[in-house]
Amino acid sequence: MKKYIIIAAILFFQGYYVVAQPATGGVFEVANGKEIPLIGATVVQLNSQNGTVTSADGHFHIDLNPQLPKVLVVSFVSYQTDTINLEETGFDHVHIALTEVKNLGEVEIVERQKGSAISRTQTRSVVNINEKELQKAACCNLSESFENSATIDVSYSDAVTGAKQIQMLGLAGIYTQLLTENIPNMRGLATPWGLGYIPGSWMESIQVSKGTSSVINGYESMTGQINIEYKKTDEGEKFFLNGYGNQKGKIEGNLNTRFQLSDKLSTAILVHAENMNVKHDLNGDSFLDQPLVSQLNLYNRWGYINRQFHVRLGFKYLKEDRQGGQMTFDPDKEHNIENGYGIGVNTDRYEGSFKLGYVFEHRAETSFGFQNQLIVHEQNSYFGLTTYDAKQVSYYSNLMFQSWITDTRHQFTTGLSYNFDKYNEALNDSIFNRTEKVPGGFIQYSYSNKKNLNVIAGLRVDAHNLFGVLVTPRIHVKYNLNEHNVIRASAGKGYRSPNVIAENTSLLATSRRLIVKEDMQIESSWNYGLSYTTYVDIGSRELSITADYFRTLFENQIIIDSENDPGTIYLYNLNGKSFSNSFQIESNYELFKNFDVTLAFRYNDVKTTINDELIEKPLVNKYKGLLALSYQTRLKTWQFDLNIQGVGNQRLPYTGYNPEEYRQPAYSPDYALINAQVTRYLKRFEVYIGGENLGNFRQTDPIIASDDPFGEYFDSSIVWGPITGIKIYAGFRFKIEQKK
């Protein structure tokens, strides 16, 4: 009987194999030695109506009819049609370059790739920020990559360490999952500093999605997800050199180079170095406006790709030293009151990653993937007379299988994951050791009627050794009302294991005691989202408008209570309600040729229960307005970028129990930020000059009791605006492209 079952199963799956064969690739044009994706190019199988169009990044996927020739006909308006024989080129990652027809005369149709756009095809609302958008500003690291984003706010977490944090949907960045090439990263000890660990020159693109995300990447996404794609070993420029400097004294250099060792094997070396060693104290409070930082960041990547196997291997090392505090503090002397108040954070971080992918050649949309990452993070730090030393060892593994049921309208991804985190922390004389082991499994079902309806439904179950079984359901729906109107909806749950010391190092730069009132439970929340996008043709150009609303409702949250005791900060589990409501509307339009305009507005309503009272969450701006203008001259010789942000007021933590001279107002003022950059394009060089915070707005007194840093009222954690004022910078980029 077993023999007949096995034979039947083999015949059953062989029947699947002959249904269709996939072909994937990209369609491009070559201009000025650079490849530009062609959006909306038509790709059709020869002698049939079986076809598709290329996506926003120029790529396509088509399931071939096995009874017809394995030949594609590729066409685009004003370009010469090309015919591709897949038996000769292969079926995966077919590279197609079309040639522009020069004799059209009176007709000229050009599609220019946008730097930032919401994908029309993806079920989730994902904003893709490509390299073009990243270069509209200096973009020294990830924290400076969201100047043109109304979705994400970036601010300093305190006034002495230089640590930056993001906010999405009105909530802290710890609730947004950060991925590097779809692997969770910058967790635990890296939380306060991780935005500075990813150099801008290393990034190929950024994908930003609001609300709950895919169960494939784990349970930690509660308000959104940010994925970083690094530059690959087998595509892009062969050599890249970047230099940057500003009037504050910061300089940095970046070097990327890659080598094609064979037609399948390639490697890349990425180097980043920065140094800031000039002291500034514009407001005369005796403290540095920004810390002195030196960083060395090295990354070696390897890639092996053939028709079926994709292997990527990477090794990364980072060393960073930062020193701040009072202008007179000497880190080489004994750390005591006579020496003054100082902070120092010394970090060594090691990362290794391995990814394996296998594509089933004769079965459409079927693949196998295996992701692995090992991280060792060591930190030695001090904040005045407080010492904090910690070490984290983390391992992540994710095994995935993707295929379909009955036909490719019904697809699924299933797999197993394992996450290991070991923390050893020492805060003064107190030791905190913790080990987390989380095996889990997931399944995600995707449905598309190939016309106007897409659904993704996922479920994962994880067994946490400290918090028990975690069940994570999530669903996303996309419905095209017609060609110009799209509705998206999502709902799902998320969890997050708190790291109360590492995630709140800004509180160490105060004179207050940290008291944990009870055992910290895992944070959990539900997120619901609704999005509507419309595309309006105005003349020969398209106006896109997106309006969305997201609500995050916490079941448990770690409360940081700094408002009810002048000498103490209490940490405890939520006892009551905590929620965030975020509404945003954004429009994008090419006002005239090569002149892009983005206009956006966002409103946040965020409240939480602190000391049994539901109140407005502190240090969250109520609204944000954004106007971004970008113009590139016709021959791409010059580019001009202007960004204006209007930032709404924020409720500040209560300081009424302090002496009058150490009190803060109830709310911060509204303010505006103006950033601009001019770029000159030469044959291989790009030279740019720009300015940040051109209005020179500053929070004049970000440190409470700066004249008595060892006294009972010292607090550097109430930061609501810029500290450093206007910043003028200049730099260059030099590229050597791949020869065709």
Dump pLDDT digits (tens) for 475-501: 999 999 998 999 999 999 999 999 999
Q: To the nearest whole number, what is the mean pLDDT of the chain?
A: 90
Residues 537-565 have pLDDT tens digits of 998 889 999 999 999 999 999 999 998 88
Q: What is the mean pLDDT of residues 248-263?
A: 95
Is residue 513 predicted with pLDDT exceeding 60?
Answer: yes
Is residue 34 predicted with pLDDT exceeding 90?
Answer: no
Burial class (CB in 10 A: 0-12, 13-18, 19+), 584: buried
- The span from the CA of 612 to the CA of 738, in Å, is 62
pLDDT of residue 3: 46
- What are the DSSP E strand ranges found in 562-637? 568-573, 578-592, 595-610, 613-616, 623-632
- The span from the CA of 114 to the CA of 109, in Å, is 16
Q: What is the mean pLDDT of residues 423-428?
A: 96
Q: What is the mean pLDDT of residues 378-383?
A: 97
Residue 428 neighbours by CB distance under 10 Å: 10
Residues 314-331 have pLDDT tens digits of 999 999 999 999 999 999
Contact 205, 131 (CB under 8 A): yes
- What does the H/E/C string look like for 32-83? CCEEEECCCCEEEECCCCCEEECCCCCEEEEEECCCCCCEEEEEECCEEEEE
DSSP summary character for residue 558: E
In this prediction, residue 9 has a pLDDT band, given cuts at 50, 70 and 90, of: very low
Residue 519 neighbours by CB distance under 10 Å: 8
> What sign does the CA torsion over 209, 369, 525, 617 have?
negative
In this prediction, residue 65 has a pLDDT band, given cuts at 50, 70 and 90, of: confident
In this prediction, residue 114 has a pLDDT band, given cuts at 50, 70 and 90, of: low
Give me 207's structure tokens: 């994908």
pLDDT of residue 88: 67
Is residue 31 predicted with pLDDT exceeding 80?
Answer: no
Find out if CATH 1.10.3720.10 is the number for domain 116-736: no
Which residues have CB under 8 Å from 548's CB, separation 6+? 125, 210, 529, 530, 531, 532, 583, 584, 585
The tally of CA atoms less than 13 A away on the side-chain side of residue 431 is 2
Q: What is the mean pLDDT of residues 155-164?
A: 90
Give me 120's structure tokens: 């029309």
In this prediction, residue 307 has a pLDDT band, given cuts at 50, 70 and 90, of: confident
pLDDT of residue 12: 38
In this prediction, residue 289 has a pLDDT band, given cuts at 50, 70 and 90, of: very high
Calculate Rg over the CA atoms of the chain: 27
In this prediction, residue 21 has a pLDDT band, given cuts at 50, 70 and 90, of: confident
Is residue 625 predicted with pLDDT exceeding 80?
Answer: yes
Is residue 102 predicted with pLDDT exceeding 70?
Answer: no
Burial class (CB in 10 A: 0-12, 13-18, 19+), 606: buried
Q: DSSP assignment of 106-165, as one string?
A: T-----PPPSEEE-SS-SS-EEEEEHHHHTTS---BGGGS-TT-SSEEEEESSSSS--EE
Is residue 706 predicted with pLDDT exceeding 70?
Answer: yes
Is residue 16 predicted with pLDDT exceeding 70?
Answer: no
Fold of 2-98: Immunoglobulin-like (2.60.40)
Q: What is the mean pLDDT of residues 607-633?
A: 95
Residues 174-188 have pLDDT tens digits of 999 999 999 999 999
Question: Domain ranges in the chain?
Answer: 2-98, 116-736
pLDDT of residue 540: 82
Contact 343, 381 (CB under 8 A): yes
